[in-house]
Amino acid sequence: LDVDIYFNSSNFLRGSRQGPGRAHRLMESMNVVSNAFLKHVLGADNVSASIVAVKEMPKLEFNLSLDFASILGPLFFMLVLQLLFPVMLQQLVYEKAMRLRIMMKMHGLSDAVYWLVTFCWY
């Protein structure tokens, strides 16, 4: 009897907040295959074999490390960017209301100077 049964063990007996996780019926599928093979070879319908246990391959030990800097870093980065948004919006509205860009063009300054000053300011 040469049977290979492959399964994804990443969710094997994983619990959740609602209760224990669901158990995969790995033993049942192995029993079905072995019983079908025995019935085919021996030709009898009342033959059955039960598999007692199956154990997974050993896994390497790993340490759970919680690095708070890598968790909180993106949060603070986005917070700083979101705090700059009202300031930039207020500057844009003020420039539009006072027509500063039009006055700059009237005094002979180009758009490149306006964008350079805006970029350097922020």
Final residue of a structural domain among 42, 62, 82:
62
| Nearest residue to 122 via CA among 77, 93, 80, 94 | 80
Q: What pLDDT is stored for residue 55 in this prediction?
A: 63
Q: Look up residue 106 and give its amino acid.
A: M
Q: Is the pLDDT of residue 77 over 70?
A: yes
Q: What pLDDT is stored for residue 57 in this prediction?
A: 64
Q: Are residues 79 and 106 in the same domain?
A: yes
Q: Are residues 58 and 72 in the same domain?
A: no
Tens of pLDDT, residues 37-69: 888 888 888 887 777 566 666 666 666 677 788
Higher per-residue pLDDT: 74 or 6: 74
Q: Are residues 96 and 75 in the same domain?
A: yes
Instruction: Count the domains in the chain.
Output: 2
Q: Are residues 4 and 28 in the same domain?
A: yes
- In angstroms, rounded to a whole number, what is the distance separating the alpha carbons of residues 118 and 122? 7
Q: What pLDDT is stored for residue 20 in this prediction?
A: 47
Q: Are residues 53 and 73 in the same domain?
A: no
Q: Are residues 51 and 79 in the same domain?
A: no
Q: In the chain, what is the straight-line distance between the N-terminal and C-terminal CA atoms, in Å?
A: 72
Dihedral angle computed from the Cα positions of residues 70, 72, 74 and 75, in that order, rounded to the nearest 10 degrees: 170
Q: Are residues 50 and 87 in the same domain?
A: no
Q: Which two tokens stand for residue 114?
A: 């306006």
> How many percent of the chain have pLDDT more than 70?
68
Q: Are residues 4 and 56 in the same domain?
A: yes
DSSP 19-76: BSPPPP-HHHHHHHHHHHHHHHHH--SS---------PPP---------HHHHHHHHH
Q: Are residues 72 and 117 in the same domain?
A: yes
The residue-averaged pLDDT of 64-93 equals 86
Q: Could you list the residue range(s) of the whole structural domain that residue 88 is in?
A: 68-121
16 phi, psi to nearest 5 deg: -140, -175
Q: Are residues 5 and 42 in the same domain?
A: yes
Q: Are residues 88 and 49 in the same domain?
A: no
pLDDT band for position 90 (50/70/90)?
very high
Final residue of a structural domain among 62, 88, 105:
62
Higher per-residue pLDDT: 75 or 20: 75
Quote the Cα angle for 44-49-50, to 5°: 155
